[in-house]
Amino acid sequence: MAITSFVAYLNLEKNYSQHTVLAYRKDVEVFFAFAKANYDIFHLEEVGYTIIRSWIVLLVDAGVSNRSINRKIASLKSYYNFLLKVGAIESSPLAKHKALKTPKKIQIPFSQKEVSAVLCKIKDTGDFESLRDLLMIELLYGTGMRRAELIGLKSSSIDRFQKTIRVVGKRNKERLVPLLPSIEMTLEKYLIERDKLFDAVCDAPLLVTKKGVKLYDTLVYRVIKAYFSETSDKLKTSPHILRHSFATHLLNQGADLNTVKELLGHSSLASTQVYTHNNIQTLKDVYAKSHPRNKK
């Protein structure tokens, strides 16, 4: 079974995150266990689409969402593409597979008022954790970076002279994002407090816990949820909604789609276009100002 080699390929050649690699590996291993138990398959190279389809039916009957099933099949498809690449198979059993239909997932951004309310609330205190939380939120909203990118920031990521921050995104792709003056001010205060508590070196994580340990996913999620749950009635208050808000607010203010694409670190415009759901009032305003028949 080539799962070990597949994992090495994802790590070394595709530069996928550990979270993604673990998810892919688990999906392939679960499917292999299914094929072995139900069809006496001992090598995934022997699998045909009929077996995969029966697994899909089983998942549907178990109440697994179409979105989750599509993700599992994407992992399996990646595995078979790897086998094609190394010459272990001549064709993929998923070559003609079509993804299951899923409802469009609408992410509702925070309003500018909601973001401002949270930022003002945190500014009322000046202890280390409050400054860190403030910087965390300002970076997520002011640069549009992902949660994993925020956690991966180092002290050396900041260029104070150029007033930029170097963000390492998916597949280790780097991009430079400008820093707003408000972020620079918060950063300066945070670094002073951090350096009082810990001996930070150039390669140390930028954002740390009160024990000096690098931030982790659940902590970032809890911080964002805690603050925004108090000021927003939205059902979803995750770090990604701040990234969504960043893109939406820029586009609503007339920012160019290509510029937003570069700031977000997207590889294609298709990913950025998810954020182009301008509200009806914005559309009305632009229409009223721009259409030649509306000129007085």
Has residue 223 been placed in a domain?
yes
When the pLDDT of each residue in the chain is averaged and rounded to a whole number, the result is 88
Whether the Cβ atoms of residue 172 and residue 183 lie closer than 8 Å to each other:
no
Residues 120 and 229 grouped into a single domain? yes
Cα dihedral value 96, 30, 240, 168, nearest 10: -90
Catalytic-role residue among 97, 170, 214, 234: 170
> What is the pLDDT averaged over residues 160-171?
91
> What is the pLDDT averaged over residues 117-145?
89
Has residue 287 been placed in a domain?
no
Give 282 or 95, the one with higher predicted confidence. Answer: 95
For residue 280, the model assigns a pLDDT of: 47
Q: Specify the amino acid at residue 150.
A: L
State the DSSP H helix or E strand holding residue 35, giving kind and residue range, or none if neither: helix 18-39
Residues 73 and 173 grouped into a single domain? no
Q: Measured between alpha carbons, how far apart are the two ends of the chain, in Å? A: 73
Active site residue 266: yes
Query: Cα–Cα distance between 260 and 266 in angstroms, integer?
Result: 9
Residues 61 and 198 grouped into a single domain? no
Exposed e or buried b for every residue in 212-236, given b needs 16+ CB within 10 A?
eeebeeeebeebbeebbeebbebee
Residues 135 and 60 grouped into a single domain? no
Look at residue 155 and tell me whether its pLDDT is greater than 80: yes
> What is the domain range of residue 277?
112-281
For residue 124, the model assigns a pLDDT of: 57
Residues 141 and 276 grouped into a single domain? yes
Look at residue 209 and tell me whether its pLDDT is greater than 90: yes
Has residue 286 been placed in a domain?
no
For residue 286, the model assigns a pLDDT of: 58
Q: What are phi and psi of 279, to 5 degrees?
A: -70, 160
Give 233 or 32, the one with higher predicted confidence. Answer: 32
- With bands split at pLDDT 50, 70 and 90, how would you rate the model's confidence at 253? confident
For residue 177, the model assigns a pLDDT of: 94
- CATH number of the domain within which 45 lies: 1.10.150
For residue 291, the model assigns a pLDDT of: 63
Return the minimum-mean-pLDDT range out of 44-53, 108-117, 118-127, 253-262.
118-127
- CATH number of the domain within which 225 lies: 1.10.443.10
Tell me what percent of the residues of the chain surpass a pLDDT of 90: 62
Residues 58 and 131 grouped into a single domain? no
Query: Cα–Cα distance between 52 and 35 in angstroms, integer?
Result: 8
pLDDT tens readout for residues 41-87: 888 888 999 999 999 999 999 999 999 999 999 999 999 999 999 99
What are the residues facing 176 on neighbouring strands? Answer: 166
Say what the pTM is: 0.70
Catalytic-role residue among 243, 244, 249, 261: 243
Has residue 19 been placed in a domain?
yes
Active site residue 240: yes
Return the minimum-mean-pLDDT range out of 57-66, 91-100, 130-139, 266-275.
266-275
Catalytic-role residue among 25, 97, 154, 240: 240
Beta-carbon count within 10 A of 180 CB: 15
- Nearest CA-CA partner of 224 in 135, 155, 284, 159: 135
Residues 210 and 260 grouped into a single domain? yes
What are the residues facing 165 on neighbouring strands? Answer: 158, 177
pLDDT tens readout for residues 9-20: 998 888 888 888
Look at residue 281 and tell me whether its pLDDT is greater than 80: no
Catalytic-role residue among 147, 175, 249, 266: 266
Has residue 293 been placed in a domain?
no
Has residue 172 been placed in a domain?
yes
Contacts of 224 (CB under 8 A, 6+ apart): 136, 137, 140, 237, 238, 239, 241, 242
Has residue 91 been placed in a domain?
no
pLDDT tens readout for residues 225-244: 999 998 888 878 999 999 99
Whether the Cβ atoms of residue 132 and residue 207 lie closer than 8 Å to each other:
yes
CB half-sphere exposure, 91, CA atoms < 13 A: 7
Residues 250 and 200 grouped into a single domain? yes
Query: Cα–Cα distance between 275 and 108 in angstroms, integer?
Result: 10
Has residue 80 been placed in a domain?
yes
Q: Among residues 70, 85, 100, which one ends one of the domains?
A: 85
Residues 146 and 242 grouped into a single domain? yes
- How many domains in the chain? 2
Residues 76 and 124 grouped into a single domain? no
For residue 199, the model assigns a pLDDT of: 80
Residues 223 and 274 grouped into a single domain? yes
Q: Report which DSSP code applies to 93.
A: T
What are the residues facing 168 on neighbouring strands? Answer: 174
For residue 241, with 0-12 CB atoms within 10 Å meaning exposed, 13-18 middle and 19 or more buried, which class applies? buried
Active site residue 244: no
Catalytic-role residue among 77, 132, 146, 147: 146
Q: Report which DSSP code applies to 168.
A: E
Query: Cα–Cα distance between 128 and 194 in angstroms, integer?
Result: 7
Residues 44 and 167 grouped into a single domain? no
Highest averaged pLDDT of the listed ranges 110-114, 168-172, 201-205: 110-114
Cα dihedral value 212, 218, 220, 221, nearest 10: -160
